[in-house]
A and B are shown apart, each in its own frame.
Chain A
Amino acid sequence: MMWLTFKSSRLFSKVKPKKTLVSLLTLFTLCCLPFISISYGQTSLTAEVEQRENNPQWQQTLAAAKGQNVYFYAWGGSKPINDYLRWATREIARRYKIRLHHVKVADISEAVSRLKAEGGNKSAIDLLWINGENFSYLKQQDLLLGQLWADIPNSVLLATQVFPLKNDFGVAIEGYEVPWGLGQFNLIANSDIFNNSRTDNLTPADILAAAKQHPGRISYPRPPEFHGTTFLKQLLVALSNKDPRLYLQATLEAQSALLPLLWNYLDRLHPLTWQQGKAFPSSNTEQLSLFQQKQLVMAVSFNPNELAKEQHAKRIADSAQRLYFNDGAITNSHNLAIPKGSQSPEAAKVVIHFLLSELAQKQKLTGSWGDPSVITPLLDDTSRLPAQQELHSSWQQVIEDTWQQRYGA
């Protein structure tokens, strides 16, 4: 700031004619306008949050939440995420007198099938971490509590202008879940495996060439694992030159026109992959661990900050790099939802409110997890990748089923 004032004063002292001065001033004001409007926007946002927090209904929720237990069903396989939730548990207990329990699940579909079995009655689950088909099913079965955006003050902070946060895999969110973080598909790879030196225009051909150079060292998580399916989607987008039919319902015609591109490609790729395609890593974390052990030369990730975090923790080499496909990184949000049968819905709302707060989102971004923020005050341009739209959700099932048919046995 000092530097700016100094520079500009020197600039102004040099400028003599009035006209130039006026025009420069106008230019300066114009340049500053976006910053002013953003900072104005932020203060108005904070004011709106405050106003909503003072609303008697929210005060009631806060009062009711005091002393409640919240059983939060969330994947438990990552130490950074578990550590983050432990931090949140302490903060929430201190601020709101709520006990948050992280119920570690190996796969969130376990929670979804439990909700189905409970059929909307009293539930074991108070809060869950969810997106995609799991959300779409629960919303369709009317098993989720609605109105969350309206009820939770901090949801005004959500950066809906910048990110596609109102839809989850093509399904309108409509207040049945609240975005918590952002996923952007990228690859983490050894620096020397792609001939192409740019990190932002990866193509399927690059991957095939790398597989030829490093046979047995490339793989991807076995679909229907989420990251594996997304890898296939990225390939399909690239192979079909971003065909517009991918963003519409997957008709039979579109399938027979587009899918063969992917299968032909995979037919060539699989013999060159890890264990000759006779086994695949079960998850992105397993792939990452194989990458760390130098069994693989690349890994997939949905977190644009993962590379930096892993390097910081000295788990992968400093020379590794982050790459993304030339059509952009498939981007989606991961979200929080409250089941209808939740036994402490008020406390669950307060937990979401806290997790969307600037403090909690900042800790998530800058702490060991490094998950991108979804709120306007903390937009993080440095880690953000150019976004690519999610495919229509019907393609998910088609790709997974056909993959199982062709390569699953």
Chain B
Amino acid sequence: MATKIRRLTLSTAWLIVGLVAGMPLFGVIIGLWPAVELSWTQVTDFFTYKGLASSVLDTLLLSLLAPLIALYVAFMVYSQYRFNPKWQTLEQRLAPLLSLPHLAVALGLVYLFSSGGMLWSSIWGLFNAPAPEWLALPRKSLITMTLAISIKEVPFFLLIFSALGRQLAIKDWLLQGRALGYSEITSWWLLVFPIMLKQSRLALLAAMAYTLSVLDISLLIGPNIPELYAVVLYSWQTGFTEAQQSYAFIGNLLLLVMLGLLIFSIYLHEWLITRGLLAQAVMANPLKIAGLSHVFTAWLGLFSVLTVTILLTFILWSLGWNSQNSLSNINWSFTLWQDEWFFFQAPLLNSLHIALLSSVLGVAISLLALELQKQSRRYLPDYVWLLAILLPQLSMVYGWQIIHTQVGADYNTFWIVLSHLPFTFAYSYLVLKGPFQSLNRHYELVAASFGYSYWQSWWQVRFMLLRPALLSALALAFSVSIAQYIPTLMIGAGRISTITTEAVAIASGNEQSITAVYMLIQATLPFLAFLIASILAQRIRGSFDATHQ
């Protein structure tokens, strides 16, 4: 009987984990199911759609370049800081830097550096002249978009490197490099980079897949001659003519092909770089990029300044800054905040409880997935668990929406939580896997020798030791849920409004002052989550150290 119950529990657990992890795949398959009968002419029409080729090329270029730039910058920063006393500060500051939403970074850059933006208009305002066009960031272009995404992804890669770095014997490699006569920075590039590159494949793919189908930022700051592919595809998906429906179907397939191309180019890039570095090493050429690395000692300071300036810009706009005014005659007022206060409460509460529920559930299920794998002594490859991050969101959620409307389900928060779950699950799995696997088994053995049962020792030792990691996973999952736009909109039919859906709808009207209010609220939520997590984590670590000395 006992074994039967045990088996039943075990298979139920596998089922739950499998369902949550498999939802993305399921969504993509349903989303790809043709809704209309396709005719050959529609296929040819699709491929001769004017602008499609350049739209696809631009999108591929962006999805390839922005994450790669971020990766390289992150590596240079990492190599400068890793054995620097400042590393501790950097690691502590990473999480809050990571918590600034993509949309906020993108809009912040435009509010600040575009030709009508705050920086240039106030500097040139002093001389009573418009800022020169070439100096400013174009409001809508591939450049602005690339810049925004690469700036935003650097902290993400730093986080990944920091996790990887703990498992690699970097110090030894650098010593060996020194012994062979390389400078430290050259050793970083020749010895550490190839390994790191290989290990961060999934992270790179995640960033690329995100860029490939990100919608809100593409709409607001992406180029529109041609439009980026996600924008075109979304307008087909929400289109209602037969032609648009069939375009949406072929378009989804094309999106998967593009994803395939990106995966291929990740491997190609890796191969080229490894070979290139090897050739440099053999020829004993000095590495030019090594010299560049030094520049990035300034990164932490610059990025912090940028973050603060972006927040400050939003605050100024929300308090009555207006491009008509010069600095001296602004009527500072809290009216906007007072006006909106009453109206953002409901979306705020929705955001909070959706994010709380889906992050707690997501972390719990990823813990379950790890535990199940540990018990069966077989770890499945990461991409199985990270499907929600790796597959294009637009196709995936489209599939869920089809099912949701087909079964005539209600529009309540339950469904939204369910639609956020694959994402919170995948991100917390990403954070928890390392700490969970590398936990010292010794403690559990000791507990067992004292007569603790498996579950007692699991709870009192493993869980307790994992608490700091669990907290950061919770904070990350929470902020991931807060930032979800497409699932909330498509599954909740807009009826469930969150701060993010409100922010995007309001930003569509381009009234900068009111947009700034919502951007600030949206940015505050994840920031608070990370802040609370880091405070709690320090306390927990403290008590743990005290009792186990």
Contact = CB atoms under 8 A, between A and B. Distances in A.
Interface of A: 71, 73, 75-79, 82-83, 86, 101, 103-107, 109-114, 116-118, 121-122, 124-125, 137, 216, 222, 275, 277-280, 282-283, 285-286, 288-290, 292-295, 314-317, 404-405, 407-409
B225 A409 contact: yes
Nearest to B51: A409
B501 A315 contact: no
Given A104-B501, A293-B121, A404-B50, A288 B510 contact: yes
A277 B139 CA distance: 13
Contacts of A78: 509, 511
Nearest to B485: A106
Interface string B277-311: 00000000000000000000000000000000000
A26 B386 CA distance: 88
A16 B397 CA distance: 87
A125 B494 CA distance: 10
Given A76-B509, A275-B140, A315-B324, 6 more contacts: A104-B494, A114-B493, A117-B402, A292-B323, A314-B324, A315-B322
Given A279-B139, A315-B324, A79 B509 contact: yes
A76 B344 CA distance: 14
25 contacts: A71-B495, A75-B505, A76-B508, A77-B508, A77-B510, A78-B509, A78-B511, A107-B508, A109-B238, A110-B489, A111-B494, A113-B238, A114-B405, A114-B493, A117-B402, A137-B241, A282-B219, A289-B511, A314-B322, A314-B324, A404-B51, A408-B50, A408-B226, A409-B54, A409-B226
B401 interface: yes
Interface string B489-510: 1000111010001101111111
Majority SS of interface residues in chain A? mixed
Nearest to B342: A86
Interface residues of B, number: 55
A285 B324 contact: no
A294 B116 contact: yes
Contacts of A83: 339
Contact of A283 (B339, B408, B494, B510): B510
Nearest to A115: B240
A280 B224 CA distance: 7
A222 B343 CA distance: 32
A109 B411 CA distance: 19
Nearest to B116: A293
Given A104-B501, A404-B50, A109 B116 contact: no
B239 interface: yes
A407 B324 contact: no
A280 B225 contact: yes
B323 A294 contact: yes
B138 A283 contact: no
Given A78-B509, A110-B238, A405 B50 contact: yes
Chain B CB within 10 Å, residue with most, of A106, A222, A294, A317: A106
Nearest to B236: A113
Given A110-B494, A116-B240, A290-B116, A279 B224 contact: yes
Given A103-B497, A279-B141, A294-B323, A76 B506 contact: yes
Interface in B236-253: 237-241
B103 to A, nearest CB: 13
Contacts of B339: 83
A113 B240 contact: yes
Interface string B405-447: 1001001000000000000000000000000000000000000
Contacts of B121: 293
Contacts of A222: 224-225
B115 interface: yes
Given A109-B238, A280-B224, A316-B324, A295 B115 contact: yes
B495 A103 contact: yes
Given A137-B240, A295-B115, A279 B510 contact: no
A112 B244 CA distance: 13
Contacts of A279: 138-141, 223-225
Nearest to A216: B133
Nearest to B141: A279
B327 to A, nearest CB: 15
Interface in B101-138: 115-116, 121, 130, 133, 138
Contacts of A137: 240-241
B506 A77 contact: yes
Nearest to A110: B238
B55 interface: yes
Chain A CB within 10 Å, residue with most, of B140, B235, B343, B509: B509
Interface in B185-229: 219-220, 223-227
A341 B406 CA distance: 14
B461 to A, nearest CB: 48
A407 B514 CA distance: 33
B109 to A, nearest CB: 15
B495 A109 contact: no
A142 B139 CA distance: 42
A264 B501 CA distance: 41
Interface in B38-72: 50-55
Contacts of B323: 292-294
B484 interface: no
Nearest to A123: B493
A121 to B, nearest CB: 6
Nearest to B322: A315
Contacts of B350: none
A267 to B, nearest CB: 15
Nearest to A101: B495
B513 to A, nearest CB: 8
A106 B505 contact: yes
A217 to B, nearest CB: 10
Chain A CB within 10 Å, residue with most, of B241, B506, B514: B506
Contacts of A77: 505-511
A110 B50 CA distance: 24
Nearest to A406: B50
A66 to B, nearest CB: 21
A208 B225 CA distance: 21
B524 interface: no
Contact of A105 (B50, B324, B405, B505): B505
